[in-house]
Amino acid sequence: MDNTFLSVKDLEVIYTSGKKIVRAVNGVSFSLQRGETLALVGETGAGKTSIAKAIMRILPNPPGKIVGGVVELEGENLLEKSEAEMLEIRGERIAMIFQDPMTALNPLMTVGDQIVEGLRLHNDLTFAEAKKRAEEMLEQVGIPAVRFVEYPFEFSGGMRQRVVIAMALACNPDLLLADEPTTALDVTIQAQVLNLIKSLRQKYGTSMILISHDLGVVAQTCDSVAIVYAGQIMEYGTKRHVFKNPCHPYTRGLFNSLPSMNSDSDRLKPIEGTLPDPTNLPDGCPFHPRCPRATQECKIGVIEPVKVEPGHICRCIHAGAEKSVEDSKRIHSGEV
Amino acid sequence: MAPLIEVKNLKKFFKVPAGTLYAVDNVSFTINKGETVGVVGESGCGKSTLGRTIIRLLDATDGQILLEGDDITHVTGKKLKAVREKMQIIFQDPYSSLNPRQRIITTVKEPLARSGRFPRSVINEETERLMDMVGIDARLRQSYPHELDGGRRQRVGIARALALNPQFVVCDEPVSSLDVSIQAQVLNLLMDLQEQMGVAYMFVTHDLSVVRHISDSICVMYLGQIVEKSPAKELFSMPLHPYTKALLSAIPSTNIDEVMQQVELKGELTSPINPKPGCRFAPRCPYAREECEQPQELQEIAPDHFAACWRVKEIG
């Protein structure tokens, strides 16, 4: 076996809402080496957070349910663990940083006590020992230890996110799930928080799955990238593969939608249309209604991932074989 | 000719239990017809308050707002209503800025009906035209806001703001809550409408790449004050103020070969309540000296390019 640390295979998550079924995650597979950072990139409702919550087994059930797949952490399938076993794993081996630091903290507990709580749950520590460790963690994330006794409302947004990071890293987890850790923060604070996560990860050798919609943040933090759309990974590869040679029309569309910091083009090139209704995903490729290169074959069956180059996978039948734009125009206008 | 909007030494203070909050402190700038002025800054810097004060949603504490040369700072009653037809706002959050119990067509129709200028037949025709203009399909026009996605809701907000053909629209983070693919659609729409109608925008945002794309000139705000004012492209090629430099360097680049040369700022925004005189950025500024405790004025460093920092030439 290679030294795969986390492996997710054919993960499927659904949410039931009345009689409707929302297919949030549809057969997602990826793997992660020790110390590696993988980015899950996608727009609202793409299923990124559902993937992370499924790995942690913290999907609210009902309505959420894992209906298929395997999540292996060092060879053990987490989906077969009992809740009691998961309690051991959560916080100690896998920790999560939530998007919104305002709601991720308990407003009625001092931040110090919240860090101590997790520490004592997983380690055989006295309060004094745990407090010492919690104070060290606060200092590590740049918060003076004297603020141990303060409540979340006494901290600013950036500071609260640091507290959440301190809490997540206190038990020295092997895997960190960071769900949009900087989306709620201003850019200068974002830069501080990203640097902090980076240096702490290097120190402890933590692997990380970073969920983000910000391609800039991804470019500066991750090793490999998975582009998620409608619960499927559309493109997956190293950062260099995806950023230098984006193959999927959706990935290209995302890059083209960004206002450039260097060019002077007057108009942006948005992806036309809107995200598909998750209760009623189109057949075939879920992106085909918005895709400039869609052909008849895209509208039927299951589109299988294609290997574009070693380690670079793209779920598009047109990847690799470059077809001219004229072709797809003719097809759209019904000439073919 | 007088500029469309002229803001002179505008101040907006709020009384809070801890003292006075200096949300907008001595801000001056002008906006010409059909032009876009971007206002950037981090949360809490007063950029939204500035926009809302200019269009008279908030009353200024001091200073002047001129619309085509007329002082509108204190107008009331019928005059205020006339002014409001010329100045509109698009809000950040298309989820909370539309009435959830009103069909979107009614929302767009409302300003036309309220103006009292049009007979009913014209109102209906005009409403349909506005919906066409912002690209809302006929089949969706009877929907309620919750039935639409964020991008379409924001289009409704835009149609409502432009209904009475205003000359000036404050766009308060209009694309911040939208996904990138939708964000690009809405930005293109705003730019197309500007071309067609000649409306001027004040574009408030924290997203620097968006503001670079859409603006003719940009004001950078820090704790209620403008610290730098520049033509849009030049701000990025030649930032002058240490805060602007830090802000630009903090944007993560999508170019993976580019090593970020970050000016990391220490600490966070200081409190806008009872600030000390002098440069408000000084506590975080890597170039701060004792002289920074003196108040800083905007000075013209290059043509149309102003910065409020006495060391600006030195630190180049």
Indicate the pLDDT class of residue B109, thresholds 50, 70 and 90. Answer: very high
Considering only residues 93 to 152 of chain B, which have any Cβ-Cβ distance to chain A shorter than 8 Å?
149-152
Pairwise CB contact (< 8 Å): A267 & B212: no
Pairwise CB contact (< 8 Å): B256 & A260: no
Mean predicted confidence (pLDDT) in B31-54? 93
Check the CA dihedral A164-A166-A171-A173 and report its sign. Answer: positive
- The whole-angstrom separation of Cα B191 and Cα B203 is 11
Pairwise CB contact (< 8 Å): B184 & A187: no
- Taking contacts as CB-CB distances below 8 angstroms, the residues of chain A near B234 are none
Q: Is B251 on the interface with A (CB under 8 A)?
A: yes
Q: How far is CA B40 from CA B48, B227, B228, in A?
A: 10, 11, 10
- Retrieve residue B25's tokens: 């402190």
Q: Give me the amino acid identity at B142.
A: Q
Mean predicted confidence (pLDDT) in B179-187? 88
HSE-CB at A66 with a 13 A cutoff on CA atoms is: 22
For residue B255, what pLDDT is reported? 83
For residue A63, what pLDDT is reported? 87
pLDDT less than 70: residues of chain A: 1-2, 263-265, 320-336
- Taking contacts as CB-CB distances below 8 angstroms, the residues of chain B near A264 are 233
* Lowest model confidence (mean pLDDT) among A224-228, B56-60, B153-157, B252-256: B252-256
Indicate the pLDDT class of residue B256, thresholds 50, 70 and 90. Answer: confident
Residue B168, classed as helix, strand or coil, is strand
- The whole-angstrom separation of Cα A134 and Cα A140 is 10
Which residues share a beta bridge with B168? B87, B200
Pairwise CB contact (< 8 Å): B254 & A216: yes
Among B188, B220, B256, B270, the residue to mutate for chain A (most A Cβ within 10 A):
B256
Confirm whether pTM is higher than 0.95.
no
Q: How far is CA B92 from CA A156, A180, A257, B98, in A?
A: 22, 20, 20, 11
- Taking contacts as CB-CB distances below 8 angstroms, the residues of chain B near A244 are 256
For residue A2, what pLDDT is reported? 60
- The whole-angstrom separation of Cα B254 and Cα A91 is 32
Pairwise CB contact (< 8 Å): B179 & A187: no
- Taking contacts as CB-CB distances below 8 angstroms, the residues of chain A near B140 are none
Among A188, A240, A260, the residue to mutate for chain B (most B Cβ within 10 A):
A188
Pairwise CB contact (< 8 Å): B253 & A261: yes
Residue B104, classed as helix, strand or coil, is helix
Q: Which residue of B181, B212, B256 is in closest CB contact with A271?
A: B181
In chain B, alpha helices (H): 47-54, 77-86, 104-115, 120-134, 150-162, 180-197, 208-214, 232-237, 242-249, 312-315
For residue B310, count other CB atoms closer than 10 A to its CB: 15
HSE-CB at A152 with a 13 A cutoff on CA atoms is: 20
For B186, nearest residue in chain A (alpha carbons): A270
Question: CA A324, A329, A332, A334: dihedral to nearest 10 degrees?
Answer: -100
Q: Which residue of A261, A266, A267 is in closest CB contact with B212?
A: A261
Domains and CATH numbers, chain B: 5-238 (3.40.50.300)
Pairwise CB contact (< 8 Å): B151 & A274: yes
For residue A335, what pLDDT is reported? 38
Q: How far is CA A259 from CA A56, A168, A264, B182, B251, in A?
A: 35, 34, 9, 12, 13
Which residues share a beta bridge with B195? none
- Retrieve residue B21's tokens: 């909050």
To the nearest whole number, what is the mean pLDDT of chain B?
Answer: 91
Cis geometry, peptide bond prior to residue A62 (ω within 30 degrees of 0): yes
- Retrieve residue A244's tokens: 């230098």
For B245, nearest residue in chain A (alpha carbons): A188
- Taking contacts as CB-CB distances below 8 angstroms, the residues of chain B near A259 are 184, 187, 209-210, 212-214
Tell me the per-residue pLDDT of B300-312, one tens digit each, with 9 for 90 and over. 999 999 999 988 8
- Taking contacts as CB-CB distances below 8 angstroms, the residues of chain B near A158 are 268
Mean predicted confidence (pLDDT) in B269-297? 87
Pairwise CB contact (< 8 Å): B250 & A187: yes
Considering only residues 194 to 223 of chain B, which have any Cβ-Cβ distance to chain A shorter than 8 Å?
206, 208-210, 212-214
Q: Give me the amino acid identity at A26.
A: N
Pairwise CB contact (< 8 Å): B206 & A187: yes
Roughly what angle, to the nearest 10 degrees, separates helices B120-134 and B150-162? Answer: 140
Residue B234, classed as helix, strand or coil, is helix
Burial B29-40 (b: 16+ CB within 10 A, else e): bebbeebbbbbb
B132, pLDDT greater than 80: yes
User: Which one is predicted more confidently, A93 or B181?
Assistant: A93
Return the residue matching tokens 């709020």: B14
- Among B196, B70, B206, B179, which Cα is nearest to B130's? B196
Percent of chain B past pLDDT 70, that is, above it, reads 99
- Retrieve residue B192's tokens: 């197309």
- The whole-angstrom separation of Cα A113 and Cα B31 is 52
Phi-psi region of A176 (alpha: psi -120 to 50; beta: other; left: phi over 0): beta
B125, pLDDT greater than 90: yes
HSE-CB at B104 with a 13 A cutoff on CA atoms is: 29
Which strands, in side-by-side order, build the sheet including B36-40? B87-90, B168-172, B200-205, B36-40, B217-222, B225-231, B305-307, B299-302
- The whole-angstrom separation of Cα A192 and Cα A182 is 10
Return the residue matching tokens 């997602």: A28
Mean predicted confidence (pLDDT) in B207-218? 92
Pairwise CB contact (< 8 Å): B212 & A243: no
